[in-house]
Amino acid sequence: MPRVPDSVLALTYGECKVCRPPIWDYPRPTGPPTISRVITRICTAAAIALTVVAVAPHTDADAAPVKRYANCAALNKDYRHGVARPGGRDVVKGKSKPARGYVVNKAVYQKNTHLDRDKDGVACEKK
């Protein structure tokens, strides 16, 4: 096994121009914070706060209570073209075109799945 020269072993951070200690080995600044440090801390805190607000899920307490409709006529009074679950598509037979303009609302659809007779994900679809 080759021997490491003593000159290499003798090098320390102070003697080597290329080698530097890791950033966490540098002394922390003391004294009152500078304006740039204060601005950096304020911006960091604001960014964290905005991220938390943007990512925080909405609770069910904020939402209005979901109504269960007895029939499609009652549902179509509030939702003119029907209600769909996310990803729901109106399935049609023949040459007729699928309904459009229905509202996508997961909570209302789940409460009224009994009104989706063809099980295509759109309840009370109407053109």
51 and 87 share a domain? no
Is residue 1 in some structural domain? no
Instruction: Record the tokens describing residue 54, joined without a space.
Output: 């943007």
Cβ distance 69 to 113 under 8 Å?
A: no
Q: pLDDT tens per residue, the chain (127 residues)?
A: 566 555 555 554 455 556 665 666 666 667 777 888 888 888 888 888 877 666 655 555 556 788 999 999 999 999 998 899 998 887 777 777 877 888 899 999 999 999 998 888 899 888 7
- Read out DSSP for 108-126? HHHHTGGG-TT-SSEES--
Domain count, the chain: 2
Is residue 114 in some structural domain? yes
Could you tell me the residue range of the domain that residue 26 belongs to?
9-55
45 and 19 share a domain? yes
Q: SS3 of 124, please?
A: coil
